[in-house]
A and B are shown apart, each in its own frame.
Chain A
């Protein structure tokens, strides 16, 4: 059974940093791209960024709203995905979801974690 479990959310002051984790199981993690998507309270879904797999050199892409502040990394040896968030702003307050991304023959975004809430407030 595919499972994605996020952790690391919490309350942080503006300008602060936080690292989110996503533990994956039930599939060959190293074969898939992985994505982060967020949802501000009462709002819609916003794609944050993605990290490709080893075959694609672990390259990353980001939404303009987080470029230069957020970094996505992964550890295939432990089936873990990370979102490093710096210079946090109040508008980064959201539930952050990890989602299974591209791999040939599989639908994108077919599995999502339960989400972890990040609150940026003084």
Chain B
């Protein structure tokens, strides 16, 4: 199975800050990586697919980059509504696996 190591597990930042989350795959997953946002009590929402493509209606302050085994998710200017848990996911091979999540708080 491909292990997805996501960091940090928790993050606190101020409104307007640039926020970065990293995800490392245990083997090459080319560009088969998604990022999700999950707010409390809600289903996950696809933010970024295939490493760097925007999901439907996703604000441009969210972005993704990387290739192979190392990937980065960035919020360029943190907004109050961005409080959520963020997950990376690989779909290069079955079983599809997720990172353990990053819980994002506002200072």
Give residues in A with beta carbon < 8 Å to B.
35, 37, 44-47, 50, 61, 63-64, 97, 107-115
With contact pairs A45-B87, A115-B43 given, residues A110 and B98 touching in the complex (Cβ less than 8 Å): no
Contact of A107 among B53, B96, B98, B99 (CB under 8 A): B53
- Give chain B's interface residues, CB within 8 Å of chain A: 34, 36, 38, 42-46, 49-50, 53, 55-56, 87, 89, 91, 94-101
A110 with B44: in contact, given A44-B101, A45-B98, A46-B98 (CB under 8 Å)? no
The one of B56, B89, B94 in contact with A45, judged by C-beta atoms closer than 8 angstroms, is: B89
- Secondary structure at the A interface, as helix, strand, loop or mixed, is loop
Secondary structure at the B interface, as helix, strand, loop or mixed, is: loop
- Which of B46, B49, B53, B87 touches A44 (beta carbons < 8 Å)? B87
State the CA gap A121–B10 with chains docked (Å).
31
Closest 3 CB pairs of A and B: A107-B49, A47-B96, A112-B43
Nearest to A108 among chain B residues (CB) is B91
CB-CB under 8 A from A47, the residues of chain B are 95-98
CA distance A41 to B36 in the complex (A): 18
Check A110/B46 contact, CB under 8 A, given A44-B87, A45-B89. Answer: yes
Identify the closest chain A residue to B45 (Cβ).
A112
Q: Return chain B residues, CB-CB under 8 Å to A110.
A: 46, 49, 55-56
Neighbouring B residues of A63 by C-beta, 8 Å: 95
Asked if B43 contacts A114 (CB within 8 A), the reply is: yes
Q: What CA separation (Å) do A113 and B89 show in the bound complex?
A: 18
- CB neighbours of B94 from chain A (8 A): 50, 61
Q: Which residue of B lies closest to A45 (CB)?
A: B98
Q: How far is the CA of A62 from the CA of B44 in the complex (A)?
A: 20
The smallest C-beta distance from A66 to any residue of chain B, in angstroms, reads 10
15 contacts between A and B (CB under 8 A): A45-B36, A47-B95, A47-B96, A47-B97, A64-B95, A97-B43, A97-B44, A107-B34, A107-B46, A108-B91, A109-B34, A109-B46, A110-B49, A114-B42, A115-B43
